[in-house]
Chain A
Amino acid sequence: MSASTFEKVMLIVLSILTLLISSLLLVILATVFIKGLPALHSGFLTEASKDFGRAGGIFYQMVGTLILMSGAVLVSLPVALGSVIYQTQYLKSKKAKEFCRQSAQMLNATPTILFGLVGYLFFGVYLETGVSWVTGSLILAVMILPTLQISIREAIEALPEQYKDTGMSLGLSQWNQIKTIILPQSYYGIITGVLLGLARAAGETAAIMFAATTFSGVQFPESFSDPIPTLQTHMLVLTQEAANPHAIAQAWGAGGVLLALVFFMTFIAWILRSKLKMESEL
C-alpha cells in the first residue's frame, strides 16, 4: 500500500472513530430524554414524589442532590484552595511539588466506592455522623478534592511568572501577592474547578448510596443526622422495579434532569476555561 493510500485509509478510520464517539453522546442524550418524556409534566420539578416514586415529581430529590453538592463544595473548596496555594506559592522543593501533584492524580483515579466505604467508616462510624447528609457531603468533599485541586493548580500555574515577580519586586508580602495577584487572576480557573467538582458530585451514586441517602421516609433533613433523598438513589431504586412502566419512566425523567444539571455545569466550566486561557495569553 502506498503512503498516500495508507494516509487516506487512516483518515477514514479516524473519522469513523470520531463520529462514533460523538454519536454515542447523542444516543445517550436522545435515549434519556425520549424515555423520560412520558414522566415530564408541569409539576415534575416542583412536586414531591408520590406512590413510592411511581408518580408525582422529583422536587425533594433535586433539593437533596443540591444540598449534598453544595455541602461538598463548601468543605472542599477552602481545603483545595489552601493546599494549592501552599504547593504553588510556598513549597520550594520540586520533588515535594511533584509528589503532591501525583497524589492528587492518584486520588482522582481511586474507585468512588472506596471513598464511600472509607468515608463512612471514618465520618459515619468513627466521628459518629451516621447515615446522614453530613456524612454524604463530607465523602463527596473528599472525592471532589483532587478535581478541584487539579483545576485550581492549572489556573494558578497558567499565570505569567512575571506577575508574581512584579508583585514581589514592588515589596508585596507573600500574602498580598496571593490576595491581589494570584487569586484575582486565576478566578475563572477556580470557578471552573468548582463547577467540575459539582458536576462530579452530582453524578456520584456509589460513594453515597448507603452512607447518606434514602429513597423514602425523609423528604427534607431536619437535623444533621438525617439522610437525604437524591436523584441518583431515586433512579437506582426505581429502575429496580423493571416491570412497572411508570416507575421506569420516572427514573428516566429523573435521569434527564440530572444529566441536564451536569451538562449545564460542564458547559459553564468549559466557557470559563476558554476565557481563562484567552486572558492568560494576553
Chain B
Amino acid sequence: MRPAIQIKNLNVTYGSIKVIDDFSCEVKENSVTAIIGPSGCGKSTLLRCLCRMNDHIENFHLTGKVLVKGEDIYHPDVDVYKLRKRVGLIYQKPCVFPKSIFQNVLFGVKHMKEIDKKDYSAIAERVLKEVNLWEEVKDRLNNLATTLSMGQQQRLAMARTLAVEPEILLMDEPTSSLDPESTAIIESLIQKLKTHRTLLLVTHQPKQAEKVSDNLIFCNIIK
C-alpha cells in the first residue's frame, strides 16, 4: 500500500523559535494515525503544515519535504486552495457560522464550481448521515447552527469538511472540548471514516490514541 503522506526531514521555525526538528514519517492510506505528545511539542503545527495552514503566518519557515499522495505540497506550482480541499482539517473547538445548519454544511461546497446547485440537498443529507447527525437535525435544517450542542457542532463541522470530499482528514484534538458521550460518537465515527479516507489525529489521551488508531507517532519537545 503506498503512503498517503510522506514527511522527509521536516524543520519548522517561527522566527528564531524551532518548533519541529528534522521530523520524518510515513502515513499509510486508509488508516488512522494518532500523534501524541506533550503540549508545545509541535503536534498542531505538524498537522497544519500538511494543509499549508501556516503559510500566512509571519516568520513561518519550513524546510524538508511533505508529500501528499506523492506530490510535494510545498512546490511553488501547487494550488494551495485545491490542496486544502484534498486535505481537510477539523479543529479542537467546533466552529460554526451564525447561519442555518443547512448553510453551514454546504459552506465549502458552495465554492466548488463543479458541483451543481440541485445536488446540494443530497450532499447535505449524505454527509450528515455519515457523521450520524441526520436523524437529530433533519427536521430543523433551517435552524441556527449555534443552537446545537458542542458535540453536535463538532459533528456538523466534520460534515462540512466531508462535504468537500477530502482524501485525508486531519483532526486536531477533536474531542477535547466534548462530553464522554459525544467523544464516544466521534471515536466510532473515526473508525467508520477510515474505510475510504486517511485520518491523522492529534490527541492528548494515550487511551484514545490506542483505541482508535492503527499507528502511533510520539512527539517530544525540542530541547
Contact = CB atoms under 8 A, between A and B. Distances in A.
B149 to A, nearest CB: 15
A173 B81 contact: yes
Interface stretch (B85-93, B122-130, B182-190, B213-221): B85-93
B98 A279 contact: yes
Given A92-B56, A94-B58, A282-B146, A169 B93 contact: no
A260 interface: no
Interface string A177-202: 00011000100000000000000000
Interface residues of B, number: 26
B115 interface: no
Interface in B8-54: 51, 53
Nearest to B157: A166
A186 B82 CA distance: 27
Contact of B111 (A162, A166, A180): A180
A251 to B, nearest CB: 48
Contacts of B111: 170-173, 176, 180
B95 A168 contact: no
A171 B91 contact: no
A52 interface: no
B180 interface: no
B161 A168 contact: no
B107 interface: yes
B197 interface: no
A160 interface: yes
A184 to B, nearest CB: 9
B73 interface: no
A171 B146 contact: no
B68 interface: no
Given A162-B91, A165-B53, A171 B58 contact: no
Contacts of B93: 162
A172 B113 CA distance: 12
A93 interface: yes
Contact of B108 (A92, A93, A170, A279): A170
Contacts of B161: 169-170
B160 interface: yes
B22 to A, nearest CB: 26
A163 interface: yes
B5 interface: no
Interface in B68-124: 81-85, 88-89, 91, 93, 95, 97-98, 107-108, 110-111
B66 interface: no
Given A93-B58, A162-B91, A176-B111, A170 B98 contact: no
B98 to A, nearest CB: 6
B158 interface: no
B201 interface: no
Nearest to B110: A180
Contacts of B57: 92
Given A92-B56, A92-B58, A172 B81 contact: yes
Contacts of A162: 91, 93, 95
Contacts of A180: 107, 110-111
B164 interface: yes
Interface string B144-186: 0010000000000100110010000000000000000000000
Given A165-B53, A172-B111, 19 more contacts: A162-B91, A166-B91, A166-B95, A166-B97, A168-B53, A168-B56, A169-B84, A169-B88, A169-B89, A169-B91, A170-B84, A170-B85, A170-B108, A170-B111, A171-B81, A171-B82, A172-B108, A176-B111, A185-B98
Query: Top 3 A-B pairs ranked by shortest CB distance?
Result: A170-B108, A171-B85, A162-B95
30 contacts: A92-B56, A92-B58, A93-B58, A162-B91, A165-B53, A165-B91, A165-B95, A166-B91, A166-B107, A168-B53, A168-B84, A169-B51, A169-B88, A170-B88, A170-B107, A170-B108, A170-B160, A170-B164, A171-B81, A171-B84, A171-B85, A171-B108, A171-B111, A172-B81, A172-B108, A173-B111, A180-B107, A180-B110, A180-B111, A185-B97
